[in-house]
Amino acid sequence: MQIKSQAVKRTIQSVALCVVLGACSPTYKNHGYIPPQDQLAEIKVGSDTRESVATKVGVPTSAGVLNTSGYYYVRMRTKTIGPMAPREIEREVVAISFTQGGVVQNIERFGLEDGRVIPLQRRVTSSPVADKSFIRQLLGNLGRFNPAGLGG
């Protein structure tokens, strides 16, 4: 009986070890879109317009704030191992700039090796009361009461 229970115990330990090691395998995620090189080759600098670029290679991931700014196609790949934070392993940006008249002026391709990593995130204005508890905020308003404001 003891030999059988040791075999069962080893089997359970082996399965548990496989589950733990399997949880640590890397997970890859792809975000964004970059037009293939053959589609980018169809764009003629000096003759194509914003509309023809959108027709040939698709609508960009983002566009510049100004009408004279360019189209930006962004693709990135992240790698996550177990409970660790995701790490960006690849980023590619295709920037198509336009003249004042809306004609293609330049097509550029950038990657992580071209410079420092710039996180793509939105900016959020921080609240000045983030470090105060509800009770502290409530008691802090007691001294600021103005009965003249109740009148009308």
**Residue ranges covered by each domain of the chain:** 21-114
Give percent above pLDDT 70 in the chain. Answer: 62
Greater model confidence, 112 or 23: 112
| CA 44/CA 98 separation, integer angstroms | 12
**Above 60 in pLDDT, residue 125?**
no
| CA 143/CA 151 separation, integer angstroms | 19
Kindly indicate the confidence band of residue 121, based on its pLDDT and cuts at 50, 70 and 90: very low
Please name which of 67, 61, 68 lies closest in space to residue 91, comparing C-alpha atoms.
Answer: 61
pTM for this predicted structure: 0.58
**Above 50 in pLDDT, residue 4?**
yes
**Above 80 in pLDDT, residue 138?**
no
Write the pLDDT tens digit of every residue in 77-97. 999 887 788 888 888 888 888
Helix or strand (DSSP H, E) at 7: helix 2-23
Mean pLDDT score, 120-142: 55
